[in-house]
Amino acid sequence: MQWQTKLPLIAILRGITPDEALAHVGAVIDAGFDAVEIPLNSPQWEQSIPAIVDAYGDKALIGAGTVLKPEQVDALARMGCQLIVTPNIHSEVIRRAVGYGMTVCPGCATATEAFTALEAGAQALKNISVIGFWSAIHQSVKSGIAIGHRSLCRWRRDARKPGAVDRRRLCRGGLRQRSLSRRAIRRAHRAAGSSIC
């Protein structure tokens, strides 16, 4: 299975509550995002994620971030999650998610981590920079990764935007929907390589 989205970004909606979730996810999807992550350290994510999957699962890749344990993958699969983002490499988390048919994007900072993730079945890599560390080894890692595997870093570069996952906060709890819509539209257009006022 390869990465399935058109836009090379994942909208990370940190700290949103179940009351905010549907409106915020609708806003980022309307802006052009087709992958949305709710981190598991968000309030009441157990309510937000199933509601979002039910409402938008046919329009975008809906999933969870900060996934650390295989048991969390099991719970997320029962909720209908399609995307797993991890801050680290945990081979069993990756394999379990791939076994459920989920798209997996683990965080990695070294060549060993990148190849371990790909061997476990990850479809994309979230390159975690350690003050220039990743860029120093990126060329050697990139040369060893098979054609067809994409890193979000490479995808962002191809879209004329350096860096890995958009680390700036697209959303945080309490942000008004109108503000989120404006931010999401600007970032989606930048990632797609087009300009917007």
- Residues annotated as catalytic (active site), given as ranges: 37, 126
Cα 94 to Cα 25, 87, 130: the distances in Å are: 25, 12, 23
| DSSP string computed for 60-93 | SEEEEES---HHHHHHHHHHT--EEEESS--HHH
Q: Which helix (H) or strand (E) holds 134?
A: helix 133-144
Number of H helices, E strands in the chain: 8, 7
